[in-house]
Amino acid sequence: MAAPKKSATLSAVERRAEELDTIAAVLPLERRDELAELLTDQDVETLKHLVERGMGDNSLRALTSDLAYLEAWGLAATGQSLPWPAPEALLLKFVAHHLWDPEKRAADPDHGMPDDVADNLRRQGFLKSTGPHAPATVRRRLANWSTLTRWRGLDGAFTSAALKSAIRLAVRAVPRTRRRKSAKAVTGDVLANLLATCATDSLRDLRDRAILMVAFASGGRRRSEIAALRVEQLTVEPPIAVADGPPLPSLAIHLGRTKTTTGEQDDVVYLTGRPVEALNAWLAAAKIDKGSVFRGIGRWGTVSRRALDPQSVNAILKQRAEMAGLEPGEFSAHGLRAGYLTEAANRSIPLAEAMDQSRHRSVQQASSYYNNATRRSGRAARLL
């Protein structure tokens, strides 16, 4: 009797893998086979429903990643798949396993996540941290857990006073300093050092130079936006006249759906001068006239038809930082976004004008770069 059950299990996994394939174009799944075993049929149906409803690609990736983690944690901690809706006791257990005091843990091995649960998650590649999770990560996963519960037409205990109190007390007991996504901003001088490593006419240098210049000059575009950029999003604009030289080439980038907009909003940013020349040089050398703009390059100089992965954009920046003699651990692709606003502040470009290009929706977030630049160079920081 055991054999038919095993066969049925395998067919269910294969069916889920096929279902995941149907949404792979919108939601790239690097761990499809693992997810097919981990997620339930209802999980996959929920993800398909969210794709059909038009949830943003980045939000879907984050939600899928968190769902996979939650299912893996639930199996490791309770031996069963997540119940829907999750009882309050399970939510509190999740908080206790992820927000804990390292000092208390040293004296009490039962405090925090049990060793067998942590070892299980590490073997599967879901857990890398040896300490407590960041409160923001725990809150995000609980928020996505709540979202998935609502999409199933269910009510959860995510707004219970006990859960809110548990998170508040745990965060207060173990204060953490919020870290920047990139330790250092890629400002104009740093960018110049990175570009100096792209000095040849090789395909790789031409591509990386275009990536760095386009990402920075277009307002500090996110790595996902750069990786997903397509020729069809580019529109040639009339040259820009300048007083002391020939007209500068101009290009419009139609962003489509981004982290803060929907596909119906035609957000546009503009490139002028050197970034346009760098982009045109790459497209011409790679013979790209449609489809993905930035692609992988094979060992023998063959340009792939597939778009770069967002992580590759990050890896390229770090590689160029190392080639420039900088510490790669201090920089990430997000440093281009932070660097754009920081450089705009340093050059006294009005905040509103910079936000038109960066497409920041929050004045408070964008102005923080301006405030930091002003404070660093202001009189209050130079009393001695």
Q: Could you report the per-residue pLDDT of 22-70, keeping only the tens digit for each?
A: 555 544 445 556 666 677 777 777 777 777 666 666 677 778 888 889 9
Given a cut of 80, whether residue 188 has pLDDT beyond it is yes
> Between 114 and 379, where is the model more confident?
114
| End-of-domain residue from the set 173, 201, 236 | 173
Least confident of 192-196, 207-211, 329-333, 371-375: 371-375
Average pLDDT, integer, range 215-233 = 90
Q: What is the DSSP string of 5-34?
A: HHHHHHHHHHHHHHHHHHTTTTS--TTHHH
The pair of structure tokens assigned to 149 is 């519960």
Q: Name the pLDDT band for 106 (thresholds 50, 70, 90).
A: confident
Least confident of 104-113, 138-147, 281-290: 104-113
Please tell me whether residues 212 and 122 are part of one structural domain.
no
Given a cut of 60, whether residue 379 has pLDDT beyond it is no
The pair of structure tokens assigned to 80 is 């069963």
Given a cut of 50, whether residue 299 has pLDDT beyond it is yes
Given a cut of 90, whether residue 7 has pLDDT beyond it is no
Given a cut of 90, whether residue 351 has pLDDT beyond it is no
| pLDDT for the residue 1 | 41
| End-of-domain residue from the set 124, 149, 173 | 173
Percent share of the chain, pLDDT over 90 = 35
Closest to 47 (Cα-Cα) out of 131, 148, 130 = 148
Percent share of the chain, pLDDT over 70 = 76
Q: Name the pLDDT band for 15 (thresholds 50, 70, 90).
A: low
| Number of domains the chain contains | 2
Least confident of 94-98, 257-261, 339-343: 257-261
CATH of residue 331: 1.10.443.10
| pLDDT for the residue 116 | 93
- H/E run at residue 103: helix 102-107
Please tell me whether residues 298 and 342 are part of one structural domain.
yes
Full-model pTM: 0.57
| End-of-domain residue from the set 120, 147, 173 | 173
Please indicate, yes or no, if residue 116 is contained in any of the structural domains.
yes
Please indicate, yes or no, if residue 329 is contained in any of the structural domains.
yes
Distance CA 209, CA 194 (A): 8
| pLDDT for the residue 32 | 59
Least confident of 114-123, 185-194, 373-382: 373-382
| pLDDT for the residue 26 | 46
Residue range of the domain that includes 333: 188-381
Please tell me whether residues 205 and 165 are part of one structural domain.
no
Mean pLDDT of the residues in the chain: 81
Please tell me whether residues 15 and 48 are part of one structural domain.
yes
CB 243 within 8 A of CB 235: no
Please tell me whether residues 195 and 166 are part of one structural domain.
no
Please tell me whether residues 53 and 123 are part of one structural domain.
yes
Please tell me whether residues 156 and 254 are part of one structural domain.
no
Given a cut of 60, whether residue 263 has pLDDT beyond it is no
Cβ neighbour number for residue 326 with a 10 Å cutoff:
17
- H/E run at residue 117: helix 115-123
Query: Could you tell me the sign of the dihedral formed by the alpha carbons of 147, 149, 153, 159, in that order?
Result: negative
Please indicate, yes or no, if residue 183 is contained in any of the structural domains.
no
- H/E run at residue 158: none
| pLDDT for the residue 318 | 93
Please indicate, yes or no, if residue 179 is contained in any of the structural domains.
no
Closest to 192 (Cα-Cα) out of 213, 219, 220 = 213
Please tell me whether residues 255 and 345 are part of one structural domain.
yes
Please tell me whether residues 168 and 245 are part of one structural domain.
no
Cβ neighbour number for residue 366 with a 10 Å cutoff:
19
Please tell me whether residues 27 and 139 are part of one structural domain.
yes
Distance CA 70, CA 133 (A): 14
Please indicate, yes or no, if residue 205 is contained in any of the structural domains.
yes
Please indicate, yes or no, if residue 181 is contained in any of the structural domains.
no
Given a cut of 60, whether residue 301 has pLDDT beyond it is yes
Given a cut of 80, whether residue 75 has pLDDT beyond it is yes
Least confident of 47-61, 127-141, 201-215, 278-292: 47-61
Average pLDDT, integer, range 347-351 = 78
Please indicate, yes or no, if residue 75 is contained in any of the structural domains.
yes
Please tell me whether residues 238 and 166 are part of one structural domain.
no
Please indicate, yes or no, if residue 271 is contained in any of the structural domains.
yes
Please tell me whether residues 27 and 75 are part of one structural domain.
yes
